[in-house]
A and B are shown apart, each in its own frame.
Chain A
């Protein structure tokens, strides 16, 4: 083990330690914001898996996020299903939705993929509006009780923080392992040149399909956390605005690597918090920042947008 990896390990350990004790150090309000950072970064990581490692920029992530959110809301409010089965069903729902979307979307790539995922995501959004009997329509569903884990109600700020922290860390760890597995390496190979990978005998469509499904699972998990955190679910969380927000978070931190998700989510949550104090038009401010990032800091997006040029020679 060389010195660099030792120092990386100790940095990681330090970060984990900090994450574990921070609610006891900072005021409750910041614990609240940090909890938000956690599940937003997991959602952003699901996009980074697709866009950064798979070369597929998706605007449908919020749909997966939403499906699991609605399942949690519905089961918690309208049925007596307990915590664990609720979570399993919610993530399963997101995964199945992901598989359905993937079935269509793997046939396309690049801008077509972006366009397809936008259409699919918005169908989910308007579907949430229309299917009011289940989803609560425009108003959504409110008053979702805090989850009960091992007999403990996860209601307080600190409890909610840890309730979010553990699955988010698990999610990041899984993603970290995934992109280093043979599957992950092949996925990155496909991002850099699908024709070449196909010629080498890799099934490009299956890899893309699985990447979308895994990413939907992660986004679904983030949706579960978000729904419990807010205690509500509404179509706004599935809207194009939400999709843009997620994209913005991922671009901010740099879409090429998972670490970017945490940085992006942190900056975004702080920005949103400050902007919403000064003005009701914080969407305009976020949008302007988004434009500025795309115009002047394409570094994050440069990686996935490395355009595939046909070898002329």
Chain B
């Protein structure tokens, strides 16, 4: 196989890994809570900027990763209990609130950090290129892919084998029916929202070390998450994986071959998928 082609393919797959991380939290929240968390992108960006602060003071990338994710998870908890809870049950108002939050936090981040693009420095151990037979590949990207696979397996096991997982899956199907079994589904909402915040925090720090970030990156992330879950099918973890792969590859190929038209290609993909599978590749009719 052509080395360039293989490179583009690998770039697509590793980018898909990042997209999977970002979109998995989003789809979990939507699937269970019926809230389109439009603050999702800003969670990502917030984690990246928090990582920048933590790195400046401690110099440890691993501390950035854990610290930022925990703080973002805590923010998710606060947002849920102060704002979303007030309008719980009104899905559209919850969604609009997250939009407002994203607007405000985005502006405040711009005020504090300025508009210059930033990047986190990944640890030395990842800057070593890895030899993969006919080509060498950046080690950090392979690490990203590894983390994505790990998160995927973790979420799959959580959904499959734990009581929280059963509650989430059942709640996606029929919330009221879960409640009348005596299960406090509100508690599951909080757990999922915070978990999604944590995973998004992880992906923010990892993504911020993979690509540069600047104000506005939140919207980029949000848009890609939306495309991934719409293509893959809402609320399904395997759908996110598939959607991330499709979007990652199309993005990688079109960015290399026809950089001005990436968005048109993504739009075309969306049209094509939805024309034949209105609920996404792995989506099910409600």
Contacts and interface: CB of A to CB of B under 8 A. Distances in A.
Interface of A: 57, 100, 103-104, 107-108, 110-112, 114-116, 118-120, 122-127, 130-133, 239-241, 244, 247, 251, 280-281, 283-284, 286-288, 290-291, 294-295, 298, 301, 305, 307
Given A115-B230, A116-B230, A301-B92, A283 B97 contact: no
Given A111-B36, A122-B222, A284-B108, A294 B230 contact: no
Main secondary structure of the interface of B (DSSP, over half): helix
Interface string B83-119: 1001100111101110111011011100100000000
Contacts of B261: 130-131
A125 B222 CA distance: 13
Nearest to B111: A281
Contacts of A288: 100, 104
Given A131-B260, A284-B107, A291-B83, A126 B223 contact: yes
Interface stretch (B8-16, B149-157, B164-172, B270-278): B270-278
Contacts, number: 126
Given A119-B230, A130-B259, A294 B107 contact: no
* Contact-residue size bin, chain B (C-beta under 8 Å from the other chain): 35 or more
Nearest to A284: B107
A130 B262 CA distance: 8
Contacts of B234: 112
B34 interface: yes
Nearest to B268: A123
B97 A294 contact: yes
B219 A239 contact: yes
A116 B86 CA distance: 26
Contact of A119 (B34, B223, B262): B223
Given A110-B92, A114-B92, 20 more contacts: A104-B271, A107-B278, A108-B278, A111-B91, A114-B95, A116-B230, A119-B270, A120-B267, A122-B226, A124-B263, A126-B220, A127-B267, A132-B260, A251-B96, A284-B108, A287-B107, A294-B87, A295-B97, A305-B92, A305-B93
B100 A111 contact: no
B226 A283 contact: no
B39 to A, nearest CB: 11
B202 interface: no
A291 B104 contact: yes
Interface in B183-224: 219-220, 222-223
Given A240-B219, A291-B97, A295-B86, A115 B259 contact: no
B260 A133 contact: yes
B144 interface: no
Nearest to B219: A240
A294 B38 CA distance: 14
A111 B264 CA distance: 24
B47 interface: no
B220 to A, nearest CB: 7
B173 to A, nearest CB: 15
Nearest to A245: B103
A114 B34 CA distance: 12
Contact of B226 (A115, A132, A286): A115
Contacts of A100: 271
Contacts of B32: none
B266 interface: yes
A8 B78 CA distance: 48
B227 interface: yes
Interface in B9-57: 30, 34, 36, 38
Contacts of A133: 260
A108 B222 CA distance: 19
Contacts of A281: 107-108, 111
A105 B11 CA distance: 31
A158 B230 CA distance: 47
B97 A123 contact: no
Nearest to B99: A244
B102 to A, nearest CB: 8
B92 to A, nearest CB: 5
A131 B260 CA distance: 5
25 contacts: A104-B271, A104-B274, A104-B275, A107-B274, A108-B278, A111-B30, A111-B36, A114-B36, A115-B36, A118-B222, A122-B226, A123-B263, A130-B259, A130-B262, A133-B260, A240-B219, A244-B103, A288-B100, A290-B99, A291-B101, A294-B96, A294-B100, A295-B83, A295-B86, A298-B93
